[in-house]
Amino acid sequence: MVEGVRVEQFRVEQTEALLHFLRVVYAEDARKYEPGFWKWHYLENPNTKIEDIPLWVVTSGTEIAGQLATIPVQVEVGSGTRPAIWILDFIVREDFRGKGLGKRLVQAAGEKYPTMITLGINEQSAGVFRSLGWVDMGRVHRYQRVLYAGNGLKGAAQNRLVRGGLNLLSAPLRWGAGRAKAGKRYSVRTVSTFGADFDELWERASTQWPCAVRRDARTLAWQFEKQPGKAFEILGAYARERLMGYAVLFFRKEIDRGGAAKAAISDLCYERENAKEIVDTLIEDALRRAVERRAGSLVTDVLDELTEESLRRHGFWRIAKSPQFMAWAAEGKQTICKPENWFLTRGDSDVSIIEQPNLG
């Protein structure tokens, strides 16, 4: 115990002190402490209760010197559902480190949530988690297909002549991108909002995987319709009027009206019946739209054998840089702590959240 220093669950009346702490430790990343974004991120999540916010802080008097910030989720494990948290941000101010406060933050969260998962933490934080019995499950798999190389290459994108030359040279990389191979059983159309059919799809789809974060319509709307400063595109794959799968796309801001530097498949989900054809259809349509928008590349993060096979068939390759995946469970560890049991996408981590806004 450090005299005068406490680890406690965050209370909403501490918001101003926490935002001040974030302004200090993330001085170069204004999105971390922008009040509207922070409120959406941590208070407006449909699984959050204001009287029980899943965020823990180190306090010294009225000052905050560290935090473990999470978002609550429902995790499907086998035939049941359990409450869990994604750990998104874990930091202790430098002058408070080396006192065991980081461990105490994680332990405090574990006392309330017996299932905890995280993606993309740094090695220092991972060391703390390992010391508390967390299981390192490798990395989520990141895939990329280059389309307009000039638009996606830093430096070159700002020079019209260089950018145009590289885009021309990379034309062979776009060959066949978005060309329909899956057949015409399913039609893909843009969807304006997540409705009850998305809940129905999830109930049918979720039985495919031993472990997956629940994708109900409320949570999808929170992340992809209501996220401040961002516009996502929702694609639905339909058999007549029945929703069979969906993909969510994100396009970065255009470069001088010449195309976006990058596009991403932020989330993807599909019906169990005819799954391969549904996934192929969605990926082909995502590629077609990325080419139409002259995106430098199309990228996604995923743990799902069927989706990964489709990505490789459609010219994507796996790249080394991707978020680390770790988990801790008081019960059901044999199921939860095996990466092959999980269905994960880019939307499950905070990657789709920390990407810079594409509006304004």
* pLDDT of 1 above 60: no
Fold of 141-322: Aminopeptidase (3.40.630)
What's the mean pLDDT when you consider all of the chain? Answer: 92
* pLDDT of 320 above 60: yes
Q: Return the residue matching tokens 């594409």.
A: 358
Cα torsion angle, 338, 343, 344, 348, sign: negative
Q: What is the pLDDT of residues 194-207, one digit of tens each?
A: 999 999 999 999 99
Q: What is the pLDDT of residues 272-282, one digit of tens each?
A: 999 999 999 99
- C-alpha 18/C-alpha 166 separation (Å) is 45
Question: What local confidence, expressed as pLDDT, does residue 327 receive?
Answer: 96
Q: Return the residue matching tokens 């001040």.
A: 20
What DSSP character marks residue 266? E
Q: What is the pLDDT of residues 235-282, one digit of tens each?
A: 999 999 999 999 999 999 887 767 888 999 999 999 999 999 999 999
pTM across the whole model: 0.94
> Which pLDDT band holds residue 85 (cuts at 50, 70, 90)?
very high
- C-alpha 336/C-alpha 211 separation (Å) is 7
Please list the residue range(s) of the chain that carry CATH number 3.40.630.30: 5-113, 141-322
- C-alpha 59/C-alpha 8 separation (Å) is 8
- C-alpha 354/C-alpha 31 separation (Å) is 8
- C-alpha 211/C-alpha 86 separation (Å) is 14
5-113 architecture in CATH? 3-Layer(aba) Sandwich (3.40)
Q: What percent of the chain has pLDDT over 70?
A: 97
* Residue 54: count of CB within 10 angstroms of its CB: 26
What DSSP character marks residue 95? G
What is the H or E stretch that residue 358 is in?
A: none
Closest C-alpha among 277, 281, 279, 247 to residue 265? 247
**Secondary structure of residue 253 in the 3-state scheme:** coil
Cα torsion 266, 272, 273, 279 to 10°: value is 20
Q: What is the pLDDT of residues 119-150, one digit of tens each?
A: 988 888 999 999 999 999 999 999 999 999 88
